[in-house]
Amino acid sequence: MKQTMQAAMLYGREELRVEEVPVPSVKSDDILVKVRVALTCGTDLKVFRRGYHARMIRPPAVLGHELAGDIVAVGPDVTNFHIGQRVVAANSAPCRHCYFCKRNQENLCENLLFNNGAYAEYVRIPGPIVACNTHEITDGVSYRDAAMVEPLACVIRGIEETGIREGDTVAVIGLGPIGLMFIRLAHLNGARVIAVGRRPTQLERAKRMGASELVTAVDDVDWVNQVRNYTDSSRGADAVIEAVGTPDTWQAAMGMVRGGGTVNFFGGCPGNSHVPIDTSLVHYSEVSLKSSFHHTPRHIRQALEVIRRSDLRSADFVINEAPLSDLLSVFREMMSHNGHLKTAILP
């Protein structure tokens, strides 16, 4: 077993270095995974630009959280896994005993343990994640497909919270990986999907995922009304998913929902953002406002099932691959235009 490995260390704002660091040591209930693929994610890019994340990662630390690989070491107290298994591990584990965990809201766990370190040859999966959020990858499922489990679990929970039903008209604003996953799942649930995005390439992808109406959101066009016009009697959509994370798009989302419908503000806005709310829309039109965050162990299991059925394939989301040494240029490329999907990093 090697003593050192290549890893992408985050030191601060846009300060990321791929360097030789010690291979993490494995304590009693941890496992060590040789990373076969790590997927880039908008969250990593956000953290890279900011230099830290109050809850998820404090530098210096190895970045990356969407991964799949092979178990190469297990702690002495691990009984449910063994060396050689192909596994996927989620990026967090709930504590299972706090106020929120006891009420099946593990996504809000007060002691949520986050794990980073996917952009490296090896990653340590801490005991709590081994216990409830690590799974063997079934035969026939690729590492790449499996590595999508974390964002997909968040989206599955978002669909559930929104209450999307067969025959619903659903508008999705934002066509990054998350928006596209919402379109795919809403379509598979029998909904009619209106996709809202800026770039022709994104809208083209949305169509491939099952969107039947495409609306280009350019500044000088009333695209909110264009969405309404695609709904029955211009009443508005039964559900609107906001997957951008800006106050403007949150506002736009409220403008395209029907009375009695649901808006899910899925995209997190920058800290200290505020959005005015039309009180009569919420009261007299009974619009429900939701905002789904993160996932639970149940949704991780459901996501793996969706992947196993090939309802969603990485080929539609992972458009590039690069060695670990190119990670910095991959991030710079992602920053230069926002129509990006995911890149498979191969350590």
Residues within the interface to Zn ion (CB under 5 A): 41, 43, 94-95, 98, 101, 109, 151
Give the type of residue at 158.
Answer: G
By C-beta, is 215 or 243 nearer to Zn ion?
A: 243
- CA dihedral sign, ordered 206, 207, 213, 219: positive
- Minimum CB separation of residue 332 from Zn ion in Å reads 19
Instruction: Please choose, from the candidates 157, 173, 168, 209, the residue with its C-alpha nearest in 3D space to the C-alpha of residue 190.
Output: 168
User: Residue 122 or 317: which CB sits closer to Zn ion?
Assistant: 317
Residue (285 or 291) nearer to Zn ion, CB: 291
SS3 state of residue 86: strand
For 142, the token pair is 């690729």
Least Cβ distance, residue 187 to Zn ion (angstroms):
22
Tokens 């063997």 belong to residue: 136
Cβ at position 148, least distance to Zn ion in Å: 9
- Least Cα distance to 275 among 289, 292, 285 occurs for 289
| Between 101 and 252, CB nearer to Zn ion | 101
User: What minimum distance in Å lies between the beta carbon of 150 and Zn ion?
Assistant: 5
Shortest gap between Cβ of 154 and Zn ion (angstroms)?
A: 8
State whether residue 101 is helix, strand or coil: helix
What is the maximum span of the chain, computed from C-alpha positions, in angstroms? Answer: 66
Q: Are 107 and 295 in contact (CB under 8 A)?
A: yes
Give 87 or 101: the residue with its C-beta nearer to Zn ion.
101
